[in-house]
Amino acid sequence: MTAAQQQQAAKNFAAYWKGKGYEKGESQPFWLSLLRDVYGVEHPEQFIQFEEQVHLDHTSFIDGTIPSTHVLIEQKGLGKDLNKPIKQSDGALLSPFEQAKRYILELPVSQHPRWVVTCNFSTFYVYDMERPRGEPEMIELANLEKEYYRLQFLVDAGNEHLKREMEVSIAAGEIVGLLYDAFYKQYTNPESEHSLKSLNKLCVRLVFCLYAEDAGIFGHHGMFHDYLAAFNTRGMRKALVDLFRVLDTKPQDRDPYLKDDNPALAAFPYVNGGLFSDETIEIPPFTDEIRNLLLVKASENFNWSEISPTIFGAVFESTLNPETRRSGGMHYTSIENIHKVIDPLFLDGLKDELAGICEIPVERTKTAKLRVFQRKLASLSFLDPACGSGNFLTETYLSLRRLENKILLELSHGQVTMYTASESPIQVSISQFYGIEINDFAVTVAKTALWIAESQMMKETEKILLVPLEFLPLKTNACIVEGNALRMDWESVVPKSKLNYIMGNPPFVG
């Protein structure tokens, strides 16, 4: 079902159910129709369960549960106020949400819902039990045509790959936190501004190196590990200083005798992009603890190529941000919530446009339109004026590149396509993405997250075209600048004539 078809289905559903809502007789048809007609569940009667028994001091019944997506539904009749308490059979006065929470306490932990939905046929209240004291999201039946995507969680069991990425990304953040704390203790004056900025840069560089060795960017797997492992604890600091200098030096500008003096160091490629350019960075002495953390926990026992750059960028920033470290908190916008903004803003339309092109029966016409559409994707520009660690920009880039890879798959027909060294099949670039961020460290994290995203999508393109593509040296740069978006001229970052979308709250079309 395309976005346009789903939107029309939501409009039809809302029109049919307007003014209807008898709790006992119409609840089940309401939910079966919603799941089948709007969200495409082929056999909704097998997907949702009604009137499941729950034993309080009396037997009661849960109006609806969706086990695969961890949803519990408390349905009320049309006109019932979802905020007001209702007298229960045992005399207790409970709001629909409080009634649902009482049911949850009697369920096995494995059956606890992630989502609680209370509904009165005209309004849906959605409670995220990850934030049990948070305010609910409200979706009006009358607005379902435009806001159907906000109930998508009803049927999305959750992409297992995405779950894995999230787990890996959070675990990676924990490793970075351990390295940060261990290095912090080694600085002579750890609270100085220079030391703190150096420590942040050091962690960003180490993450890039760890990712690059696992993703095959540096060359053979474990290249970074093997280089450092050749040194004892005392020699690792200088080894890292030498490596950073080499990574920032073009091969033609390196010591011509480096291959003889240190072939393992000479084998590292030139990175570019400015990540390793600051030679004033302060790197403290290593300890046995740091050596073990870096070589064993961070390298041997962990695969950085599986991280989600969208999630990890935010986790990374939160791990090393002094404010969040002091409070023990962590904040990032989930991929799901990012798509609640970018899908209706532009992505749904682009997906529908590509789907329409792919259905063209005349091959020559389809090919021509696919190439025009690819150029269109490469022409779009995006700005996040308060981008933080860049997760909106990163997820948007990944989404556009997935569309581009579908184009390349259609164009290749499974055949090997030859490209010269000077050309690339990839036209969508991280240079299309602009950000403003007041925190200098977050700027670096955002750029690094986009580079990782670029690397991962290039690997996906290689699988489609069956040809190797060179990632290093970095040829493109995310246009993310350090500054106060409330005070600076946004056109100094990107001219408004070039800008298509501003992603903020609320989003704007440029």
Q: Is residue 327 part of a domain?
A: no
Of 201-205, 259-263, 421-425, the least confident: 421-425
Beta-sheet strand order (sheet of 479-482): 479-482, 433-437, 382-384, 501-502, 508-509
Phi, psi of 240 (to 5 degrees): -70, -40
Compute the distance between CA of residue 475 and CA of residue 472 in angstroms, rounded to an integer.
Answer: 7
Per DSSP, helices labelled H in 91-192 are 96-105, 144-147, 160-184
Phi, psi of 379 (to 5 degrees): -95, -10
Q: Is residue 326 part of a domain?
A: no
Does the pLDDT of residue 129 top 80, yes or no?
yes
CB 268 within 8 A of CB 218: yes
Compute the distance between CA of residue 434 and CA of residue 145 in angstroms, rounded to an integer.
Answer: 31
Tokens, residue 293? 């953390």
| 460 and 348 housed in the same domain | yes
Q: Is residue 216 part of a domain?
A: yes
Q: Is residue 402 part of a domain?
A: yes
Chain centre to alpha carbon of residue 455 = 15
What pLDDT, in 10s, does the model give residues 11-67? 999 999 999 988 778 899 999 999 999 998 888 998 999 988 876 666 678 899 998
What pLDDT, in 10s, does the model give residues 158-167? 555 566 677 7
Compute the distance between CA of residue 461 and CA of residue 468 in angstroms, rounded to an integer.
Answer: 9
Compute the distance between CA of residue 493 and CA of residue 489 in angstroms, rounded to an integer.
Answer: 8
Between residues 497 and 219, the one the model is more confident about? 497
Give the pLDDT band of residue 419 (cuts 50, 70, 90). low
Compute the distance between CA of residue 99 and CA of residue 389 in angstroms, rounded to an integer.
Answer: 39
Task: Write out the H or E segment, with its range, that includes residue 436.
Answer: strand 433-437
Does the pLDDT of residue 93 top 90, yes or no?
no
Give the pLDDT band of residue 329 (cuts 50, 70, 90). very low
Between residues 274 and 35, the one the model is more confident about? 35
Q: Is residue 54 part of a domain?
A: yes
Of 111-115, 315-319, 323-327, 352-356, the least confident: 323-327
CB 436 within 8 A of CB 385: yes
Give the pLDDT band of residue 277 (cuts 50, 70, 90). confident
Check the CA dihedral 332-296-460-247 and report its sign: positive
Task: Write out the H or E segment, with its range, that includes residue 351.
Answer: helix 348-358
| 364 and 473 housed in the same domain | yes
| 172 and 276 housed in the same domain | yes
* Domain span including residue 100: 3-154
Of 124, 154, 184, which residue sits at a domain end? 154
What lies within 8 Å, CB to CB, of 377 at 6+ separation is 350, 400, 403, 404, 407, 427, 428
| 14 and 90 housed in the same domain | yes
User: What residues are paired with 140 via a beta bridge?
Assistant: 123
Of 255-259, 317-321, 434-438, 476-480, the least confident: 317-321
| 144 and 176 housed in the same domain | no
| 95 and 169 housed in the same domain | no
SS (H, E, C) 140-152: EHHHHHHHHHHHH
Does the pLDDT of residue 346 top 80, yes or no?
yes
Of 154, 188, 215, which residue sits at a domain end? 154
**Dihedral angle, C-alpha 204, 205, 208, 211, nearest 10 °:** -100
| 283 and 349 housed in the same domain | no
- DSSP label at 84? S
What lies within 8 Å, CB to CB, of 31 at 6+ separation is 44, 48, 50, 64, 73, 75
Tokens, residue 104? 């949850």
479-493: burial string, b at 16+ Cβ within 10 Å, e else: bbbebebeeeebeeb
- pTM for this entry: 0.66
Percent of residues, the chain, with pLDDT higher than 70: 89
Q: Is residue 107 part of a domain?
A: yes
| 119 and 40 housed in the same domain | yes
Does the pLDDT of residue 315 top 80, yes or no?
no
- What letter represents residue 149's amino acid? Y
| 266 and 302 housed in the same domain | yes
| 38 and 121 housed in the same domain | yes
Compute the distance between CA of residue 463 and CA of residue 432 in angstroms, rounded to an integer.
Answer: 24
Percent of residues, the chain, with pLDDT higher than 90: 47
CATH code of residue 65: 3.90.1570
What pLDDT, in 10s, does the model give residues 358-383? 889 999 999 999 999 999 999 999 99
CB 303 within 8 A of CB 214: yes
CB 476 within 8 A of CB 427: no
| 147 and 171 housed in the same domain | no
The SS3 of residue 81 is coil
CB 154 within 8 A of CB 126: no
Number of domains in the chain: 3
| 457 and 353 housed in the same domain | yes
Does the pLDDT of residue 102 top 80, yes or no?
yes
Average pLDDT over residues 329-341: 71
Q: Is residue 315 part of a domain?
A: no
CB 373 within 8 A of CB 489: no
Q: Is residue 245 part of a domain?
A: yes
Of 111, 128, 154, which residue sits at a domain end? 154
